[in-house]
Amino acid sequence: MTQCKKVLSTLLALLLVWAVPTTAAAASLEVTASLKASLDKTLAAADRAQAEKISALYNELLSLQQQEQEWDSKLKALHESNKNTSSALAKQVKQIDEASLNRLEAEFNQAKERYKPLFAQYTSLNKQIDAARAAKNKDLSAMLQLHANVLKIPIKLARMDLEAKMNAWQAAKKATGQKVKRIRGILDDADPIREQIKAKNSAVRTLESSITPAWNGFKQAARKGDSSGVQSSLATAVSLSRQIHSEKQKTYQLEAKISEILSKAGSQIP
């Protein structure tokens, strides 16, 4: 009986600790004064082996609950880190070669504006030549053609310059596009992992919702003085908590994989 009382004292102390909600699932696992009294009577009537088993189950459940809290904190921290990193990478990807592309585009547009009067003059001369020929004014046509011939070399050089600037700009855009495609391809590897995390989270929610019925069964068994029912309900709660613990460990591992993918993608940004 002395051993049973020691077990009871330990168990009641643990119950007081557990009465503080630790997670969403544990929020409903509240130990009231009447429930403690019922449990007191149940354990007092139980044999030593059963009282020790119940105490062991409580110890494990409390340990699992604390570990669940720790995993929740670690998961939240890693998930937020991945979320922030992903957001930062998205901005960095948009800015890849932005300065050089803007410079090449500006060089092309500036050259285009610079050559615009030259092209306009050449176009105007050719129209005048056509008009002079239509009027059969050979002298005017010859004079205008002479001016047009003088502009042919500057026109050719201007076109070559514009073509070179356009080609440089287009080649740079293509190279940037390939860099972006490669990085986004790496980032896409995280999508199926995120789907796995969603599935894990769904599984955890299902398991957590199953703990409440087990806890209700425990309370009913305690009030009836049913030590076997108490033990059975606790065993169920422990089993569910083990599964939750396992799922959260796996979820953390998945988040860690995403972190590795983000790091790999980040290393590809010039």
Tell whether the model's pLDDT for residue 206 goes beyond 60.
yes
Q: What is the pLDDT of residues 53-111, one digit of tens each?
A: 987 887 888 888 888 889 999 999 999 999 999 999 999 999 999 999 999 999 999 99
CB 21 within 8 A of CB 27: yes
Q: What's the CA gap between 164 and 140, in Å, rounded? A: 36
155-164, 196-205, 222-231, range with the lowest pLDDT: 222-231
State pTM to two decimals.
0.75
Q: What is the pLDDT of residues 28-60, one digit of tens each?
A: 466 678 877 887 788 888 898 898 898 788 788
Question: What tokens appear for 92 in the block?
Answer: 């960095």
- The b/e string for 140-150 (b: 16+ C-beta within 10 A; e otherwise) is ebeebbeebee
Proportion of the chain above pLDDT 90, given as a percent = 65
Tell whether the model's pLDDT for residue 18 goes beyond 90.
no
* Secondary structure (DSSP) of 43-97: HHHS-HHHHHHHHHHHHHHHHHHHHHHHHHHHHHHHHHHHHHHHHHHHHHHHTTT
Count CB atoms within 10 A of the CB of residue 214. 19
Give the C-alpha distances (Å, rounded to integers) separating 63 from 14, 16, 70, 140, 204.
11, 14, 11, 103, 18
Question: Taking phi first (over 0 means left), then psi (-120 to 50 degrees means alpha), and beta for anything else, what does residue 226 get?
Answer: beta
Tell whether the model's pLDDT for residue 11 goes beyond 90.
no
Tell whether the model's pLDDT for residue 10 goes beyond 90.
no
Q: What is the pLDDT of residues 162-176, one digit of tens each?
A: 999 999 999 999 999
Average pLDDT, the chain: 87
- Give the closest residue to 26 by CA, choosing from 171, 212, 185, 170: 212
Residue 77, φ and ψ in degrees, nearest 5: -65, -45
